[in-house]
Each structure stands twice: as C-alpha cells, then as structure tokens.
Homo-oligomer: A and B are copies of this chain.
C-alpha cells in the first residue's frame, strides 16, 4: 500500500505508475521523530520540505511576548511547504506533536520532480489550495466565532480530516492535543478551553477521554460550530 503522502496526492488527481515510484523514491528516507521535536525553527533558512507520513505535527509561532499561536496541524500525508527559497528565513517553526514518521525532501528536488511529473505538480497545487481553504476557515473562526463555536469547529475539521485518511475508528479518533495546545491553536487560554470542553461534554456533543476524541452527536456539534448545513451533510456523509 502506498504511503499517506502518495494516497493524499492521489486523492487530488490521478497518478501513473511512474509518478508513484518517483514519490516512493522521494519518501524512502523517512525517519522516526520523537514527540515535540522541532523539524525547523523560526529564523532558520528554509531548508528541505517535510512530509508527515505518520503521526501529527504542527506549525506554530512564538510571539515576542512569549505567547504561542499554532497555525496549522499536519496529519499523515500533509507536506510542510517551506516557501521554496522565496523567503530568507522561516517566519514560524514546525514541530512534531507526537512521535511521527517524516520524510525529508531536499530543497529543489521537489521542484525538479514536479517539473518532470505534471500530475504531481497538479496534485501538489491542489493540495496547496485545500490547505489555504483550511487557513481561511481558521481566520473566520478566530474573527467571528464565539469560543464554543471555535472549539466545535476545530473538532469538526479535525474529525473530517482524520476520517478522510482513515484515522476514525468507530465513533472517535486519536486527538494527541493537550488543552494547552488547543488553546494555542484557537487563540484562547487553557482555562477557558477546559470550560468549553466541559460544556460540550455536558451537552453530550463530544468528549475527549485519554487522548481520544469521541463525537457523540456529530449533528449537534456541527450545529454549534455553525457549519453550513449543506457543507456539513455533504462532507460528513462522504467521509463515512
């Protein structure tokens, strides 16, 4: 079975045998990385591109006042584009959340492969657009949603993404995020995240137990999140 990166790209456009073996070659050097290791740090010169084959990672930025903002979660199959030499230095860091398996693709190599494999090029471009959509959704959440809506929305997003890559088993999936991490992703304080989670738990919408998120009532959760009805149903159905 092809790895998570290949599977993700395949979902964005058909790849031929030749494309797949190229990707296989690119990711052959995958290594295991322990939890909470920085793959690259803010200020570093953008180096290689990383691909998460297994486990979770996150992009984050530490502000001058010491607070942290997580800007994206990277699930298996996700690639960390590093501005491919456009920028002089990284404006944020990338770190594993839990133990992960990540492949490293030397800068320039990916571009060369894309030049020779239009299918890969196209799939990467589309993956990029999808990521952008996720970023926009985060901005909407942070700007105009209440804290409970924000939490619910992030959970819906993660649930959807997890289910697309086959990480949902039964009613739940592994959520290796502390309340501190959630707070830093949602622009809230850990204390308030805790209270909101309690709310969601007592209203039987969802629950996090020992690193596993359980969505007891997906419809209720999506309604709290303010998911567009149509959007929700289409996606939730196709996901299952």
- Show the binding face of A for B, using Cβ within 8 Å: 12, 59, 61, 63-65, 67-69, 71-72, 81, 83-84, 86-88, 91-92, 111, 114-115, 118, 121-122, 124-126, 128-133, 135-140, 142-145, 184-187, 226, 228, 231, 234
Bound CA span A142–B118, Å? 37
Bound CA span A85–B115, Å? 22
A12 (CB) vs chain B CBs: closest residue: B86
CB distance from A65 to the nearest CB of B (A): 8
A186 (CB) vs chain B CBs: closest residue: B143
* A139 lies within 8 A of B135 (CB): yes
Cβ contacts under 8 Å, A132 to chain B:
81, 128, 131-132, 135
Bound CA span A186–B118, Å? 38
Cβ contacts under 8 Å, A118 to chain B:
115
* A136 lies within 8 A of B234 (CB): no
* A84 lies within 8 A of B126 (CB): yes
* A139 lies within 8 A of B84 (CB): no
* B63 lies within 8 A of A133 (CB): no
